[in-house]
Amino acid sequence: MDLKNFIRDIPDFPVKGIIFRDITPLLRNKEAFGEAVNRLCDAVKDLDFELVVAPEARGFILGSAIAYKLGKGFVPVRKPGKLPYKTVYEEYQLEYGVERLYVHEDAIERGQRVLIVDDVLATGGTAEALIRLVRKLGGEVAGLAFLIELSYLNPRKRLEGYELRTLIVY
Asked if 110 touches a copy of itself (CB under 8 A), the answer is no
Active-site hit among 35, 95, 128, 140:
95
Please select the residue that binds a copy of itself; options are 7, 61, 129, 168, rule is CB under 8 A. Answer: 61
Decide whether 30 or 157 has the Cβ nearer to a copy of itself.
30
Q: Which of 118, 106, 114 shows the shortest CA–CA distance to 48?
A: 114
Asked if 27 touches a copy of itself (CB under 8 A), the answer is yes
CB of residue 80 to a copy of itself, shortest distance in Å = 12
Please select the residue that binds a copy of itself; options are 72, 113, 136, 158, rule is CB under 8 A. Answer: 72
Distances (CA, A) of 140 to 23, 65, 159: 29, 21, 14
CB of residue 151 to a copy of itself, shortest distance in Å = 21
User: What is the 8-class DSSP label of residue 17?
Assistant: T
How far apart, in whole angstroms, are the C-alpha atoms of residue 115 and residue 5?
Answer: 27
Q: Judge whether 95 counts as a catalytic residue.
A: yes
How far apart, in whole angstroms, are the C-alpha atoms of residue 96 and residue 75?
Answer: 25
Q: Which residues fall within 8 angstroms of residue 147, CB to CB, at 6 or more apart? A: 3, 23, 26, 36, 40, 62, 119, 120, 166, 167, 168
Q: Which of 45, 83, 26, 10 shows the shortest CA–CA distance to 165?
A: 45
Asked if 143 touches a copy of itself (CB under 8 A), the answer is no
User: What is the 8-class DSSP label of residue 49?
Assistant: -
Asked if 14 touches a copy of itself (CB under 8 A), the answer is yes
Q: Which residues bind a copy of itself (CB under 8 A)?
A: 8, 10, 13-14, 20, 22, 24, 27-30, 33-34, 37, 50-51, 56-58, 60-62, 64-65, 67-69, 71-76, 78, 81-85, 104, 107
